[in-house]
Structure 1
Amino acid sequence: MDQAQQLRNVIKQKNQESPPEHARVITITSGKGGVGKSTVAVNMAVWLRKIGKRVLIFDADLGLANVEVMFGAVPQYNLSDLIYKGKNIKEIISQGPMEIGFISGGSGIAGLSNLTKDQIVYLVHSLAELNEMADVIIIDTGAGISDSVLEFVLASPEIMLISTPEPSSLTDSYSLLKALYRNPTFSKDKARINIVANKVNTIEEGDAVFSKLNSVVSQFLNGNLNFLGMIPQDQELENAIRSQKIVSLERLKASSSQAFRILTDNFLNEKNEQIVIHRGITQLFINFLSRK
């Protein structure tokens, strides 16, 4: 029996047994590296914790470990230890500041396409436990339009695309959007793509990031984007990044820190019935595995 058929059997059983998933999942991605994707993920997590939300970051970047660096922590285990070595889900969760949990995907991401039925069942049931541990799960993908990035983004009901005003960043962001919209499995009715303008110098510059991307998506891809907010590139943020610190913890009154607070508020205040129906970490991984 191939993985696709095994997965269909697991899905059927899960749909019969599992209650609706509680945790809201957001996948953060970018068209190129260096635009601040992990910085947004970590600072959002901090502000979510400040208002009492339980947060977990899933680091799905195969090449880098930016979340680990910013948290100053080296995880003892990663996703591959759960899949192949029988660790339970709690054992592979590391703790960052403010009790922010994070899971390193590690080599486990690359191995998701070759799982046995027992491994799929164990993975899906283990991930279901996260619904009792977190209110919000942030997935931090790699950058660009590699297969692993696209698979995660295509499986996600809520997507946050980080772009800067630089022409190369805008071009790469559009390339990622084009790859999504032109994929036959992408449903623009079941997914929301949120744009975050990062490293902006003025409000007008941030607005322009969104208007340029939304204009080309509307004109050439028959789609619409949502503008979630903008983050200024201030000196406090630059200093925090250089020293591998988190500006929302170290410099609460910095303009960038307050911008992350507003961004988090905007995220929490968004409503979409389709997202509520299709959200959930196990559903995301089922979607992901179904694509393999």
Structure 2
Amino acid sequence: MDQAQQLRNIIKNSSKPVRPLARIITVTSGKGGVGKSNVAINLAIQFKRMGKRVIILDADFGLANIEIMFGTVPKHNLCDLIYQGKNIKDIITWGPEDVGFISGGSGISGMYNLSRDYLVYIIVNLAELDAIADIIIIDTCAGISDAVMEFLVASGEIILVTTPEPTSITDSYSLLKALNQSPRFSREDTMVKVVSNRVTSEDEGHQLFNKLNTVVTRYLKLPLNYMGAIPQDQMLARSVMQQSPVSIEYPNAKSTKAFEAIASQLMNPDDAALIKPRGMAAFFSHIITGRKLSTVPSASPNSIGSIQNTQ
């Protein structure tokens, strides 16, 4: 029996049906600088205000966006769980309004080289997050690296953040194409949702989604779901400089109202019923036992041109 099968058996045998599994939402983007971490943080705060327990896993290695935007420095990160014997509660930092976050550091990328005993220890600890949080938000790196793809193929619910910039749209398409071509991606078990960021109006948000959706439907046959638009907002930019989420600093800002609306749509019972909670043990065992992905093909010139020309 290989290590992957052993780990799957451990997860299966150690799971407790009476314990609810956390809903895992992975927030990603095709390129950096489109506001992905702002979306993750402000949705987390809105979920918390709706009575949900929320933890963010900052998987944007090396940039520490979540802690900077929260104005909070974590004492520990995932590496301390792996190498220093800390338990899962030790590495959770509690930010504003009791939203928890875990700094990934370089811990996740190092999991591939660990022994079976270490992996079992990590997965068992991560499984405890299901008892601590109702919703776990994974804030990935931007782009289509192998690490990002590992998170996306393991997730049943993906939020793709894009902006009207042509490079953001084409990079969003490239990410979706790479995901669609992954041999471990299951479109039947995954919902891809789009948030239009930094738009001037609701209409522009819809147009942005329609432009991307038209080409994705034509070339990838991958269904997308529109979650809403976040307007260009000076208050949001100011809150970033103040290292405080706009949902806290400026509760009446137009971007805050947009985050409220998107969070409400995500928590819509009809929408939530379509999501099958996976829990953290299954999520990370999928990543750890997965094969290392081959080089991701680039998007074809024809498809990228179609995005730019779609009205």
Distance 1:280 1:208 in 2: 35
**TM-score using structure 2 length:** 0.89
Q: 1 CA distance for matches of 2:37 and 2:256?
A: 15
Is residue 35 of structure 2 the alignment partner of residue 36 of structure 1? yes
After superposition, the Cα gap between the structure-2 partners of 1:272 and 1:256, relative to the gap in structure 1 and judged at 3 Å, is: closer
C-alpha displacement at 1:151, in angstroms?
1.0
- Which aligned pairs between 1:37-116 and structure 2 lie closer than 5 A? 37-116=36-115
Kept after mapping to 1: 8 A contact 2:27/2:137: yes
2:150 alignment counterpart: 151
Say if 2:7 is the partner of 1:13: no
**Which residue number corresponds to residue 172 of structure 1?**
171
* Identity among equivalent pairs (%): 51
User: Alpha-carbon deviation of 1:122?
Assistant: 0.6
CA distance in 2, matches of 1:182, 1:76: 39
Deviation at 1:273, TM superposition (A): 5.7
Task: Kindly state the Cα deviation for residue 236 of structure 1 after the two structures are TM-superposed.
Answer: 1.0
* Alignment partners' CA distance in 1, 2:88 and 2:175: 31
Question: In structure 2, what is the equivalent of residue 275 of structure 1?
Answer: 275
Question: 1:17-57 deviations in whole A, cap 9, x for unaligned?
Answer: 31244211000000000000000011011111112211000
Take 1:209 and 1:10, find their aligned partners in 2: how far apart are those partners? 42
CA distance in 2, matches of 1:209, 1:200: 9
8 Å CA contact retained: 1:62, 1:109: no
- 2-structure distance, mates of 1:254, 1:123: 40
Whether the 8 Å CA contact 1:163–1:170 is kept in 2: the answer is yes
Cα RMSD, aligned residues only? 1.4
Kept after mapping to 1: 8 A contact 2:266/2:272: no
Asked if structure 2 preserves the Cα contact closer than 8 Å seen for 1:7 and 1:120, the reply is no
Q: Are positions 1:211 and 2:210 aligned together?
A: yes
DSSP-derived class of the 1:106 partner: coil
Query: How many angstroms does 1:109 deviate by?
Result: 1.7
Contact 1:7/1:117 (<8 A) preserved = no
Residue 242 of structure 2: aligned partner: 243
Instruction: Give CA deviations for 1:194-247 in whole Å, capped at 9, x if unaligned.
Output: 000011101111001211111111100111101111101112112112222211
Runs (5+) with no aligned partner, structure 1: none
Answer whether contact 1:63 1:142 (CA < 8 A) is retained: no
Partner of 2:137: 138
Q: How many residues are treated as equivalent by the alignment?
A: 288
Q: Is the 8 A contact 2:11 2:282 kept in 1?
A: no
